[in-house]
Structure 1
């Protein structure tokens, strides 16, 4: 009887798990990420000194937007001290998980432009402080909220007197570039028109990206864990959104990248429709410890955006 009871419990758990997997992997991709923000208000705005000797004529701010249903949205802003009444072009930067104000140090000659760095709603230290059982649902919720948070930030930025509304665009690097397909697909579903954007060091197929980066896990288990991890955040899988990105994009990747496989970035390139500009560098993956590579990526991105009249 005990054995039958245990088998029944196992069967119920298996059926529940199987149902969740089928539901998660087959529902419309937009359903998981199309989250209503409600009222958005500026609740925190503090100036600070970044002490960049080369660019003394700039101001730096740390802001927080409070929303009714999406939690807080944090961002860092770098702007010239003098802004004309018609405003200036704005580039919203989406970088790595621990991106912050230090990003501005990697932008040589920022010019008469405003840069806004989006801060993710989840930080790595949260994982260290919690347990997987508690943190995995939190991570899932945070990840799936990013596209709606980013569009709320973009809308708020476009309404500011310092922004030139017609010249607000995105530049995604590494993790940030992975989110942009979902952001652009969501914007299209809401009839929000976005400008051309940069996707640097992005890839498609989250399970492949996780497998590639979980080198410490035994290969016997790595594929299953990567697939499960993908399922948890399947709503932002780039491959599900790329066909709906009706715009122009700059795609940058590296041939010696050990974090985004060749298979992954080639799949992303294939799924994005024309027009697109592809730049392949003989480089590894970008990282804050590689400032020269980061500056090279910024230079390529600035030139491409400048050619399209999106920045000064």
Structure 2
């Protein structure tokens, strides 16, 4: 369902040190106001829909679709839905950057729901070495700020489909997807239930925590701060948005042995949320595609809670 933090996680922290040394021109572009108005402008309207492929597997139709906005944002999605006729509740997933829309393939049984996983609106390389990230920095930053409107654009198309029950729309942010799904849900009340799966707040703290993998720990706080400024994390950190979700329910499912999320960052997001809210702790490490047992347990837990209506219990 989710992957590692991707190029704007650990990679952004390395980029921060490069930028601090001499990226003055780009630095001028980092000063911007609250992005809410810009989000709406970038969302645009649905301009083109391309159906890339379709297949039937174990009672589900699996279809790859790409939606393009009038603003130029492109949103690749993978839809997995029951073959039975009629409208079903929608589960829209945004997980790790590397997994993207293929996260839908990690769910063997949708339990009668329409499950849609979307990719980030970023077309650059997933892995970069050394100063190569310098080249892709503007694209990464643009993709970060395009992601909340991309979620809304996906909904603009999905909620017009006859197989979607618009009365029940679950937005699931997994790992890296939590901040973006939280922002999108705060702005878009069509999302009726919001889930953070192995997610947290305090983007600056998260960036610093994960920077320790690629540099001495003493430099990690500085790298996290600079990276947060570069990507505009101050405006997207989810604890600043999550209270707007109420009175719709907000649920967090977290890992007791999560090596990527500091407990203080997890608690900060939960504390900022208004009722109704809930938090569940499960044994195990952070969710990643190469940990199928973790993914299976999470998927089962989330779908069970959806079916029971226990998101905020």
TM-score, structure 1 as length reference: 0.82
What corresponds to 2:10 in structure 1? none
What corresponds to 1:104 in structure 2? 104
Q: Is the 8 A contact 1:35 1:145 kept in 2?
A: no
What corresponds to 1:76 in structure 2? 78
Q: CA deviation at 1:182?
A: 0.9
Q: Is the 8 A contact 1:127 1:135 kept in 2?
A: no
What corresponds to 1:255 in structure 2? 256
Query: Structure 1 residues 307 and 259, CA, compared in 2 at 3 Å: closer, same or farther?
Result: same
Q: Deviations over 1:196-251 (max 9, x none)?
A: 12111111111111111112212333222211111123231112212322221121
What corresponds to 1:194 in structure 2? 191
CA distance in 2, matches of 1:29, 1:16: 21
Q: Is the 8 A contact 1:212 1:258 kept in 2?
A: no
Aligned with 2:43: secondary structure? coil
- Structure 1 portions without partners, runs of 5+: 1-12
Is residue 40 from structure 1 mapped to residue 46 from structure 2 by the alignment?
yes
Query: Structure 1 residues 271 and 295, CA, compared in 2 at 3 Å: closer, same or farther?
Result: same
CA distance in 1, matches of 2:214, 2:45: 43
Q: CA deviation at 1:171?
A: 1.6
Equivalence map 1:271-286=2 (5 Å): 271-286=272-287
- CA RMSD of superposed structures (Å): 2.7
Q: Deviations over 1:5-35 (max 9, x none)?
A: xxxxxxxx999898766x44xx335245443
Q: CA deviation at 1:116?
A: 0.7
CA distance in 2, matches of 1:19, 1:102: 37
Q: Is the 8 A contact 1:42 1:63 kept in 2?
A: no
Larger radius of gyration: 1
Q: Is the 8 A contact 2:66 2:74 kept in 1?
A: yes
Aligned with 2:128: secondary structure? helix
Moved over 4 A (4+): 13-21
What corresponds to 1:245 in structure 2? 245
Aligned partner of 1:63 among 51, 62, 65? 65
Q: CA deviation at 1:141?
A: 0.6
What corresponds to 1:298 in structure 2? 299
Q: Deviations over 1:65-98 (max 9, x none)?
A: 12111421110111222322xx222111111112
Higher RCO (C-alpha 8 Å, min separation 6): 2
CA distance in 2, matches of 1:156, 1:17: 35
Aligned with 2:80: secondary structure? strand
CA distance in 1, matches of 2:69, 2:26: 33
TM-score, structure 2 as length reference: 0.82
What corresponds to 1:4 in structure 2? none
CA distance in 1, matches of 2:271, 2:297: 24
Aligned with 1:128: secondary structure? coil
Q: How many residues align?
A: 285
Aligned with 2:208: secondary structure? helix
Q: Is the 8 A contact 2:102 2:117 kept in 1?
A: no
Query: Structure 1 residues 158 and 15, CA, compared in 2 at 3 Å: closer, same or farther?
Result: closer
Aligned partner of 1:207 among 204, 207, 212? 204
Query: Structure 1 residues 99 and 186, CA, compared in 2 at 3 Å: closer, same or farther?
Result: same
